[in-house]
Amino acid sequence: MRYTLFDFRYSALLPLTYTRPVSHLRVGADRIIDKWERLWGERAEVCTASDLSAKFPCAPPAGGFAVNASVIPNAALAAKIRSLPEGTLLTSRGLAVAMHCTADQIKLISQQVNLKEYPDLKPMATETEVFPEALTFIERPSDIFAQNGAVLRDDFDALTRGRRTTNFPEGVMVTGRDIFAEPGATLRPCFINAAEGPVYIAAGAEVSEGCMIRGPLYLGPDSILKMGAKIYGPTTVGKHCKVGGEVNNSIIDDYSNKGHDGFLGNSVVGSWCNLGADTNVSNLKNNYGQIRVWDYETEELRDTGLQFHGLVMGDHSKAGINTMFNTGTVVGVSCNIYGGGFPKKFIPSFSWGGDEGLIDYDFDKACQTAEAMMARRGVPFTETDRDLLSAIFEADAGFRP
């Protein structure tokens, strides 16, 4: 039976979903799609917006299960979906979770998702069931860091089941039992505290001298915590990243760097980003009030109901040295931000500048920068990548000065 993860919340998760399907958002140790495939033991299809379909192609299957890509899976949910009779819709909190569809229904849902519409499965269903347990939905970027701790704990259990960690070298001081280092991970003399959550260090990753880690933490393959880094969980670092300074409850996706001193908290940073030395992110207002962030759907600031909310940064964006980001700042794709003051709380994709004003980032130069950074990691910048960035350049054009 085929499983297809559909983007039910594409626009609500911008700018992160400008460059990836909802199913490819990293929450916990890995992406949402990785968790589904681990539970099902087979590959899942992905259905996303038309702008992304060239990079993430999907041939709608002849029937099967349509699954809301914004749902964080668990074993009970995966088993329940597998058992759904044809025509049955599974819901939670009034939201669609999954449906056993015919080929025509899968095709219709695909067409709606390609057009960036929210598909309505209820009229298609012959029966509706409510999943009896509470589920986690990723409906806003802030849900990623807010839910990261619980998801990290579940992922740690799944990834370490039946495995034993490598021995820790002399000079590594540990507290707590849930610490796992894959073969090939390098641990210099450091402090690891897993009393409040597990710590997972992937193959090829390095924890440098003097690092202080408080879990939950996932450190991805070939990533480095630089000397003296202070990491507070729940934090996730993807593959091929360099991280230094102080980080708290944040997600840094693949190939991004925060290599120097400076604070990052309650934040989500996309791939191919770089935060220059002493870049600092405010995650708490001086009056301890609730934080407002830019909403792509309403095109205005939205109350989050959160007291802690830092930076949301799309792929390929950069911040120069000593950049300061205010609470609840949203930065689009392929921006170059610098300056001595606070830039605006919403920085549209392909913006260049900072507190003294923004201008358009020349598209060809932005592509050259992306290509150069990707080449350093041996990853090609393709025509598909360029076409996707071109679509994003046009999508955010109305927001730029």
At 59 the pLDDT is 75
Residue tagged 């641990």 (tokens) = 187
CATH of domain 3-139: 3.90.550.10
User: What is the location of CATH 2.160.10.10 in the chain?
Assistant: 143-399
48 Cβ contact list (under 8 Å, min separation 6): 7, 10, 21, 22, 23, 56, 58, 113, 114
pLDDT of residue 1: 64
Looking at residue 76, its pLDDT comes to: 97
Task: Please tell me the predicted confidence (pLDDT) of residue 401.
Answer: 81
- 130 contact partners, CB below 8 Å, separation of at least 6: 90, 91, 92
> Bridge partners of 292?
303
CB 46 within 8 A of CB 34: no
According to DSSP, residue 108 is labeled: H
Per residue of the chain (401 residues), give pLDDT as tens. Answer: 689 999 988 899 999 999 999 999 999 999 999 999 999 998 999 999 999 999 999 876 778 999 999 999 999 999 999 999 999 999 999 999 999 999 999 999 999 998 888 888 999 999 999 999 999 999 999 999 999 999 999 999 999 999 988 888 889 999 998 999 999 999 999 999 999 999 999 999 999 999 999 999 999 999 999 999 999 999 999 999 999 999 999 999 999 999 999 999 999 999 999 999 999 999 999 999 999 999 999 999 999 999 999 999 999 999 999 999 999 999 999 999 999 889 999 999 999 998 889 999 999 999 999 999 999 999 999 999 999 999 999 999 999 98
**In the prediction, which pLDDT does 8 show?**
87
* Radius of gyration, CA atoms only, the chain: 21
Domain 143-399 indexed as CATH 2.160.10.10: yes
**Residue ranges of the chain assigned to CATH 3.90.550.10:** 3-139
